Structure 1
């Protein structure tokens, strides 16, 4: 069943730019699977927010959380290196990838239904508390539990294809074997005490080695949204993700 799911996801993403006439292109996705009954999901109520949802809040008989990473093409990442403001290409990629995630989840819902099972259609973003700025279904955290990657000090999930991209997730009552979770860190600072590039890249002093001011971060995102208001909601920044060792890969992994 893994092969079928992954085949559908990869084909959908590959064909999406031509079918939807997007400006953005994506690299091949990474897909992992988490056991919906993993007790770590309960811990998200402590780590993220007490109101964080469980897989069983979406489907009472949930068995699996499918998590996937959609890596941006290199041109999008490089476009966002210079300057204080987010590039237009980065903002466009954010908007188009959010739509891709919704469309992909809708497609998977229909495919899984033909197999006699159920799944969720979860949005990519904007499902957070506007005051606390905390999501009640954190795609990054559920993807971490599903073995998709490890958190860097920039609070982004570092996957085997880096952190520059978007994460989506699906809850289903289709049973799929869980992905083995790596024990090692992917962040150079967490693993070896070196790098700190993401902190140095932060343009609004929101990020430090020991902390993260989500309100300062979102302040910059809203600033960029005003600049990029000709394309839709682009409350993005991304400076802490570009031109760093984990932009495109897991920097710990040996070639």
Structure 2
């Protein structure tokens, strides 16, 4: 069944730019699956917040959490390397990919319904506490549980296709075999104590080796939003994601 769900997600993303005549282009998504009863979901209530949801909060009979990473086209990544402010191409990609995730989740939910199963439609972003800046459902943490990737020093998800893209997730009562997790770090700093380029790339002094200031990070995201008032809510930055070894791939693979 996982092959069928993989194909549903990949075909939808491949057709999306053409179907909706939008600017953003994406590479083929990566998809992974977690057992909705995995004990690591309980750990998120300690790691993130006591209010962090469990899969069963969305569906009492939840069996699987589907997670996916949608990588940005290389041109989008390169456009955001120079300067302090995020590029307009990156900001547009953020907005259009959030909409893609919303539309994709609805589509997957409808497809699963035809097969006799239920699923959720969880938004890509803006489901967080505006004061604490903590999410009640972290797509990135859920993706790690599913084996989709690992966290980098920059707190972003690094996958086999890098970290420049967006993560989405779906809770369903369809039982799908979980993706195998590995114990190898994808971040060069965590793997071999080298690199740290994402720290150097942070433009608002929010990211340190041993500390992350959420407020300073979000302050820069809101600054960028004001710089692009004509495209919708673009509270995004991405400077620590681009121009680094993990931007487009897993730099520890084969090491």
Gaps spanning 5+ residues in structure 2: where? none
Residue 184 (structure 2) pairs with residue 184 (structure 1): yes
**1:23-102 equivalences in 2 (<5 Å):** 23-102=23-102
2: CA distance between counterparts of 1:22 and 1:214? 31
Equivalent residue, structure 1, for 2:118 = 118
**1:1-255 equivalences in 2 (<5 Å):** 1-254=1-254
Q: What is the CA deviation profile of residues 1-52 of structure 1, one whole-angstrom value per residue up to 9, with x for unaligned ones?
A: 1111011111000000010111001000000000000000000000011100
1: CA distance between counterparts of 2:2 and 2:195? 36
Three-state SS of the structure 1 residue aligned to 2:167 is strand
Give the superposed CA RMSD.
0.7
Q: What is the CA deviation profile of residues 182-237 of structure 1, one whole-angstrom value per residue up to 9, with x for unaligned ones?
A: 11100000010000000000000000000100000000000000001110000000
Q: What is the CA deviation profile of residues 64-92 of structure 1, one whole-angstrom value per residue up to 9, with x for unaligned ones?
A: 00000000000000000000000000000
Figure out how many residues of one structure are paired with residues of the other and give that number. Answer: 255
2: CA distance between counterparts of 1:4 and 1:177? 13
2: CA distance between counterparts of 1:182 and 1:25? 30
Offset at residue 254 of structure 1 (A): 2.2
Q: What is the CA deviation profile of residues 136-182 of structure 1, one whole-angstrom value per residue up to 9, with x for unaligned ones?
A: 00000000100000000100000000000000000000000000001
2: CA distance between counterparts of 1:133 and 1:228? 22
Three-state SS of the structure 1 residue aligned to 2:134 is coil
1: CA distance between counterparts of 2:166 and 2:213? 21
Offset at residue 244 of structure 1 (A): 0.3
1: CA distance between counterparts of 2:234 and 2:76? 14
2: CA distance between counterparts of 1:24 and 1:18? 10
